Each structure stands twice: as C-alpha cells, then as structure tokens.
Amino acid sequence: MSELYINPGIELRNSQREIHHFRLRLAIASGFVIFMFFVLFLRFFWLQVVQHEHYSTLAEANRISIAPIVPNRGIIVDRNGVVLAHNYSAYTLEITPSKVEDIDALIDALSTVVEITPRDRRRFKKLLEESKSFESLPIRNRLSDEEIARFAANRYRFPGVDINARLFRQYPQGELFSHVVGHIGRINQRELDQLEEEGNDTNYRGTEYIGKVGLEQSYEKHLHGTTGVEEVEVDAGGRAVRTLSRKPPVSGNNIVLNLDAGLQETVYRAFGDFRGALVAIDPTNGGVLAFVSKPGFDPNLFVDGIDPQNWKELNESIDRPMVNRALAGTYPPGSTFKPYMALAALTLGKRRPEQAIRDPGYYNFGNHTFRDDKVGGHGMVDMFKSLVVSCDTYYYMLANDLGIDNIANFMTLFGFGTRSGIDLTGESQGILPSQAWKRKRFRTPEQQKWYAGETISVGIGQGYNSYTPLQLAQAMATLANDGVMYRPHIVNYVEDIVTRNRTMVEPQPLRSLDLKPEHLKVVKDALIGVNTEGTGARAFAGAPYVSAGKTGTAQVIAIKQGEKYVASRIAERYRDHALFIAYAPADAPKIAVAVLVENAGFGAATAAPIARKVMDYYMLGKKATPVKMEELDANAARH
C-alpha cells in the first residue's frame, strides 16, 4: 500500500474510479444494514407494542401458579365424643410415574433404602393403573424418621421420587364401625364426572379422597370443607418463590352421631362368631343408637387404595363382609311379624283380644297343610297367648281372614317394604307382598296371579316377605312409640369447626298412625308377656327393667311337607335365621332393637340374648369412656 503514496503517478485515476466503485458497494452495504435494523425494529414493535398484552399474559401465567389448599376433613365422633374417624399427618414416599422411565427398577432401588413390602408394590401397581401418570402416587405411607433421613441422604439417586407430608384418614375403631362410618378412598373417574356435573369440581381441586360408603359418603358435603387457594410466584423450575395471595381453606364440619361406641362394641362382642345385623333406635326421636352388620372389615385398608390380595379376600369371602346386612340385606321377618298382624286384626276389627281358636298343630287350606312348630298344637289360643307362645296356626287363620291386600296396606304404615330414609345410601326396599306387587314383579299371567294359599305363609312372616333389619327396628320403634314414627338418623348434629354452630339433624316425625290405645295395649302387654313368661323369658330372666319383645325364626330353605326341621341335619348355611325384636322400658320406651342372627336357628336361643345385652348396657346406664387423642396418635403410629 505504501507504493500508492510514494508513486501516485498514472494509477491515481484508476484508483479514484476504484474508490468510487468501492464506496458504491459500501453504500449498498449500509443500506442493507439499515434495512435489517429496521426489520429488527419492526419485530420489536410487533412484540412489544402490538402483541404486548398477549406476551404480558404469558409472562404472568409463567410466573404465577395457583395452588389449591386442601381443607382438613371433618372428624366423626359418637354421642360421647369417642373418635370414629379422624386425620393424622404422616410422611409418604411418592413417585411421579411420568418422570420415571423404568418404575420396577426404581422401586427395586428404592427398596434398598426404605422398606417396601410386596403389599406396597401391589397397591402401587393398582394405583398406577387407575391414575394419570403426572400424579404423584404413594409407594410407602407412614415413613419413620429414620427412613426419611435415609431417603434424604440418597435422594439424588431417585429423580421423580419425593417425600410429602399428607393428612391421612384413620378409623381407630376399625371393623366396629365399618358399615356405618364407611370409609374414604381415591376419587375415581365416575366420581370426578359427577363432581363436575354438580359444578363442585373446583372445590375438589387438589383433593384426592372422597367418601366412598357409609356416613363418609352420605355426609361428604359436610365433611369435605372448602378448598383454599394460594397464588404463588414460581420460578422456571416450578419452585415457589413467594406467596402473592392466599385464601385459606375452610375445614370440613365435624359430625356427632347418635351411636354409642360402647353399645356398638357390646353388640359386636355379643354376636360372637355369628353373622348378622342389629339396629337399635331411640323410639322417641329416631336416633340410631347402634348399627351393626357382622362381619365387618377394616376400613383403614381402603383409605389409600386397597391392595389386590386383601380386596380379593374381602370380595370372595363366603361371609360377604362387604355387604351391609343391616341396611341392604333383606330377610323374612318370621314370627317378629306377628305383633303387627295382631294389631292389624284389632284395628280392622277381624279379631277381639279374648277371641280364641283351637290349635291342633296344623292348619289345612285347600289340599295343603300348614304346620305349627309345636306338634299337637297349643290348645286354646287367644291373642295374648298367640304372641307369647308364638302360635302359627292363629296367624294362618288370621292371615286368611285379613286377605293379602289388607295386610299389605296395614304393614305399609309401619314402614315395611318402604325405605326408611336413614342418612346412609344403599338402603334396600325389601318386599311387602301384595296383589299389586306380584303383578309388577312377575311377567306371565299365572305367575302374576295371587293365590290365597300364599297369604297364609305371609301371616307368619314367611312367603314373599323380606325386610331389612333396619325396617324391623323402625317398625318396632314405631310400635313402642305408640304409632309416632320418626325417620331414623345416625347423625345427631353437624358441628361447624370454626363457629361451633351445631346443625341438628332434627327428629322428623314421618307420620302418626291412627291406632287405638286399647289395641296397642293388648299387643304391648303380650310382648311384655313374651319376655316374662314366653319365648323370650329365658333371655330376659332377672332383668331389673320391664321389656317387651318377640322372637322369630326365618326359614332359609323351604321344608318339605311333613318333614320336621332338625338343625343338626342341615348344612350350616341353610339353617334358619334367628330374629328378635324388643324395646324397653315397657312403660316409656327409650330403645327399640331388631336383631338378626344368620343361620343361628331358633330366635329365642341366640338372638334374644344379644338383645338382652344391648338392653342391659343401655338401660343400666353404662357409658363408654371417650378414647384420648394421644392414644389415637399412638395407634396411628403403630398401624
């Protein structure tokens, strides 16, 4: 280049042209630069002015995460404050499946750090099938402090695995209340759809559990509470940086029952190894004092998803522990039907109390012989005696005289064949046979026809008759209360946990039956007679209070004509069911009971003694001592 300055000479003009040329190119390049910067400016203008709103929204959505705060579920206590369902907090080990490639390998690796039983694995597999992969699912519950420490030290090895503090539901009474209190479980798709339909799904955001059966289900709305909301600023990693706003959750309401845990336990023990059901009702207000279906099951198994093996055992057990016998099981009432038949006869004028029949031990109708269980019969039988000795022949005749539709119309008043409206779902209706019922029930004309002979067995509580133990207790309570009928209710009141306001489940009189006091007196005196000199006398011997009752025996299979029922010859599952209905004290009833013992044979032998224990417990003022909260926590830790 230095030559240019030393020897300008002839090349200068050339050079001038070259410089001109170069500057032209440079100008074009400058134009290009300006154009490109203008493009950038347009882009910035587009993003920052025209689309600003849109990107601001996106930035806010990035930054703010709205997290639901799940409310504490209300607790359930009995009438004396004994806790039946409560919450405790514990640490769980949870896996988010979407963040994990090989779940089995991960669980294998985890089991070297924290104990994972085959049951945990099975339960996790089941949860995995039922849920979405981005949900965090528990593999282990109730981690010990030591396990937490061990996992924390190894956490880096397990991406997608976290420890979370969660509230757990616990049922400290276990099996005892399984059919009343019920249990919660993970919300399934059907329940989710239903919540959505009710417009309730926002309140369940973040909630994983819902009442599945029992009071947990029927009082779900009270127990759940209102979900709170927290607006948190999060960083790109999803970590909360600070809280922007917070609307605290409102805890669910507590539920206080009419049930008495001590009474419930007494019933449970009294049943021994028998299966069956017992319902005890306060006749003056319909409050349910005891509600037992045996066998039960441990509701705690269901709380966090039951493992397949336990599920199979419960589901396939011949004892059918999952069936709520008191609510959904229906049985022929047997002779416990007789007091109402007697009352029907008096009310409809078909019998006078002193009117007696001669009982030869059988009743012939058409070409069929209906047998009384006492060979040779009871001799002369009036109404009082018919109940005290439980004479079948008396009621065969009576049923024939009344006719099926008169029987059905009268029995409807006592709630037979009608759902009681108790505060539990899944109640059976039972069968109160009538001509209309039969027409509806069957298809072909000859099936639909009511035969007069069928009325005869209905009279002693057999035939098509089929009622729930709850209905039997409800009818007994109505009779004890002189025809004033209340809707049975397990819950006494719902307590607002914040304001302590109590919402009573008011005793609702369903109806007051138009019964003559003198008719009621006849039947009630006879029922007292049952417990003093009749079929219930042995069970109630020496009771310091006056009670009234009626035994019953319900056939499971039909006995062939002329054949005698011998319990020992019949397979256990085909033996008769034992029944007993009772109330006490006789002059001002405070408790009415219906007992059903499956395959236990004669009602007086097994059912009546159970009723006696219930009465003793309730009448003699023995009350349960409430379980202390500390003991519950200790239980929970052991569980």
Partner 1 sequence: MPMPRAIRRISHALTAHVDAQLLMAILLLMGVSLLAIFSGSNQSLARVSSQIVNMLVALGVMYTFAYVPPNFLLRIALPLYVAGVVLLVCVALFGDIVNGARRWLHVGVTRIQPSEIMKIAVPLMLAWYFDRYEATLKLKNYLIATILLALPVALIVRQPDLGTAVLVLAGGAYVLFLAGLSWRIIIGVAVAGCASLPFLWSAMHDYQRQRILTLIDPTQDPLGTGYHTIQSTIAVGSGGLFGKGWLQGTQTHLDFIPERTTDFIFAVFAEEWGLLGNMVLLFLFLHVIARGMVITANAPTLFTRLFGGALTLTFFTYAFVNMGMVSGILPVVGVPLPLVSYGGTSLVTICLGMGILMSIQTHKKLVQS
Among positions 214-233, residues that touch partner 1 (CB under 8 A) are 233
- Give the one residue of 8, 12, 16, 30 binding partner 1; rule: CB under 8 A: 30
**Rounded-to-integer distance, Cα 460 and Cα 285, Å:** 29
Among positions 462-491, residues that touch partner 1 (CB under 8 A) are none
**Rounded-to-integer distance, Cα 32 and Cα 38, Å:** 10
User: Annotated catalytic, 335?
Assistant: yes
CB 50 → partner 1: shortest distance, Å? 9
Cβ 281 vs Cβ 289: under 8 Å: yes
How many chain residues bind partner 1 (CB under 8 A)? 43
Element holding 215 (H helix, E strand): helix 214-218
* Per CB under 8 A, 7 contacts partner 1: no
* Per CB under 8 A, 54 contacts partner 1: yes
- Which residue, among 469, 156, 431, 517, has the nearest Cα to 325 in the 3D structure? 469
Structure tokens at 191: 């329940």
**Cβ-based neighbour number of residue 586 at 10 Å:** 19
> In angstroms, what CA-CA distances link 190 with 130, 213, 364?
12, 15, 56
In the chain, count of helices (H) and strands (E)?
Answer: 23, 23
Q: Which of 11-19, 337-345, 381-389, 595-603 is the region at the interface with partner 1 (rule: CB under 8 A)?
A: 11-19
Q: Which residues contact 121 (CB under 8 A, 6 or more apart)?
A: 107, 139
Cβ 423 vs Cβ 219: under 8 Å: yes
* Per CB under 8 A, 41 contacts partner 1: yes
* Per CB under 8 A, 66 contacts partner 1: no
What track of x and - describes contact with partner 1 for positions 286 through 325 (by CB under 8 A)? Answer: ----------------------------------------
Structure tokens at 540: 């109630």
* Per CB under 8 A, 105 contacts partner 1: no
Tell me how many degrees the CA angle 608-483-583 measures, rounded to the nearest 5: 20
- Give the one residue of 8, 12, 16, 18 binding partner 1; rule: CB under 8 A: 18
b/e string for 137-153 if b means 16 or more Cβ within 10 A?
A: bbbbbbbeeebeeebee
* Per CB under 8 A, 442 contacts partner 1: no
Q: Which of 46-54, 171-179, 555-563, 624-632 is the region at the interface with partner 1 (rule: CB under 8 A)?
A: 46-54
Q: Which of 43-51, 78-86, 144-152, 316-324 is the region at the interface with partner 1 (rule: CB under 8 A)?
A: 43-51
Our measurement of the distance from residue 622's CA atom to the centroid of its chain's CA atoms, rounded to an integer in Å, reads 28
* Per CB under 8 A, 13 contacts partner 1: no
Q: Which of 14-22, 130-138, 159-167, 369-377 is the region at the interface with partner 1 (rule: CB under 8 A)?
A: 14-22
The residue from 218, 293, 335, 466 that is catalytic is 335
Q: Which of 3-11, 157-165, 267-275, 459-467 is the region at the interface with partner 1 (rule: CB under 8 A)?
A: 3-11
- Give the one residue of 9, 10, 25, 316 binding partner 1; rule: CB under 8 A: 25
* Per CB under 8 A, 152 contacts partner 1: no
CB 4 → partner 1: shortest distance, Å? 6
Structure tokens at 277: 């059901």
> In angstroms, what CA-CA distances link 299 with 102, 322, 356, 499, 639?
32, 10, 53, 30, 13
Our measurement of the distance from residue 493's CA atom to the centroid of its chain's CA atoms, rounded to an integer in Å, reads 18
- Which residue, among 459, 456, 442, 466, has the nearest Cα to 556 in the 3D structure? 466
* Per CB under 8 A, 558 contacts partner 1: no
* Per CB under 8 A, 63 contacts partner 1: yes
* Per CB under 8 A, 234 contacts partner 1: yes
- Give the one residue of 12, 26, 105, 436 binding partner 1; rule: CB under 8 A: 26
- Give the one residue of 12, 13, 16, 59 binding partner 1; rule: CB under 8 A: 59
Among positions 235-264, residues that touch partner 1 (CB under 8 A) are 235-237, 241
Our measurement of the distance from residue 348's CA atom to the centroid of its chain's CA atoms, rounded to an integer in Å, reads 41
Binding interface with partner 1 (CB under 8 A): 1-2, 4-5, 11, 18-19, 21-23, 25-26, 29-30, 33-34, 36-37, 39-41, 43-45, 47-49, 51-52, 54-56, 58-60, 62-63, 233-237, 241
What residues are labeled active site? 335
